Amino acid sequence: MVSGKYSAVSGALTREQAMSNIASNLANVNTTGFKKDRISFSSVLQGAQQMRATKGINYARTRTIDTDFNQGAMQTTGNPMNVAIDGPGFFKVRKGEEIFYTRAGRLTLDSNGTVLTNDGYTVLGAGDEPMQLDTSQGKDVVIAESGNISVNGVQSGAVLQVFTIPEQSSLVKTGHSLYRLTAGGDQPMTGSRVVQGHLEISNVNMVEEMTAMITSQRTFEAQTKVIESYAKIDDKQDELGSIS
C-alpha cells in the first residue's frame, strides 16, 4: 500500500473518532454538571524519525482526549436542595467503598437526614464523613455560599465542602457526571461559592459542536474519496499487469 493511502486511511479513522467524541458531547448537552471532551490530533513522525519508525509513511493519530473543566452556565431552579459551584472545585461523594467527584449538585435527603446525590451517592464533608442533618423538626435547609448549612434557622454544623484537585488530568470519567481520581489527592477549596437553588448545566456549546461535526464529516468524506481513488488505481495496475 502506498504512503498516500496510509495517510488517507489514518485521516479517515481520526475523523471518525472526532465525530464519536462530538456525538458524546452533544448527547450530554442537557446533563447537569457534564464537562465536554476535546480530542486533538497530530501528524505522526517527521524527518529522520519518520523514516526510521514508519518507513517514510506520514499518518495522523489521536494525540490526546482531554476533559474541558471550564464552568458551565448556572440554571435557576428554586429548589433548596439544588446547588452549583461558582468557581473551580468538586463535591465529593461515595458509593460503597468508592469515592467520586462531581459538579452535579442535585441533592436530596433520605429519611435519616443523610445528604445524597440524586443517584443515591452519599455526599462527604470534611474528613470524608457523610453529611447528616437533623431534620426532626422540619426540612427548611439553607446553604450559605461558604457551604455552611442551617436547618430551620439553626446552624447544623455541617458544611457542604468543595474540594479542589491539583492534578485534574488524574480525573477519569465514570459516567453520570462523576469522576474517579486515579492519582494524587484533593484539598479543601476556599475560593469558590456554593450557590443554592441553582444547577450548573453542561459546558457543551451546541452550535460549536455542530460546526465541528460538519467539518469532521466533510473531511471524512474527502479522505474516503481518496481511499476509493487509490483502490481504482490498484485495480488498473492489476489489469495492466495481466496483459501478456
- Give the pLDDT of residue 102: 97
- With b for 16 or more beta-carbon neighbours within 10 A and e for fewer, the 105-126 pattern comes to bbbebeeebebbbeeebbbbbe
Nearest to 148 by CA among 139, 160, 140: 160
pLDDT in tens, 5-50: 666 676 677 778 888 899 999 999 999 999 999 887 655 545 545 4
pLDDT in tens, 170-208: 999 999 999 999 999 999 998 899 999 999 999 999 999
The CA distance from 194 to 186, in Å, is 18
The model's pTM: 0.80
Q: Which H helix or E strand runs over 81?
A: none
* Angle between helical axes of 206-241 and 3-27 (0-180°, round to 10): 150
Strands (E), the chain: 37-44, 59-67, 74-76, 83-86, 91-95, 98-102, 107-109, 115-117, 122-124, 141-143, 148-151, 154-159, 163-164, 171-175, 178-181, 187-188, 193-196, 198-200
| C-alpha cell of residue 141 | 435547609
Residue 113, pLDDT above cutoff 80? yes
CB atoms within 10 A of CB 14: 23
The residue type at 101 = Y
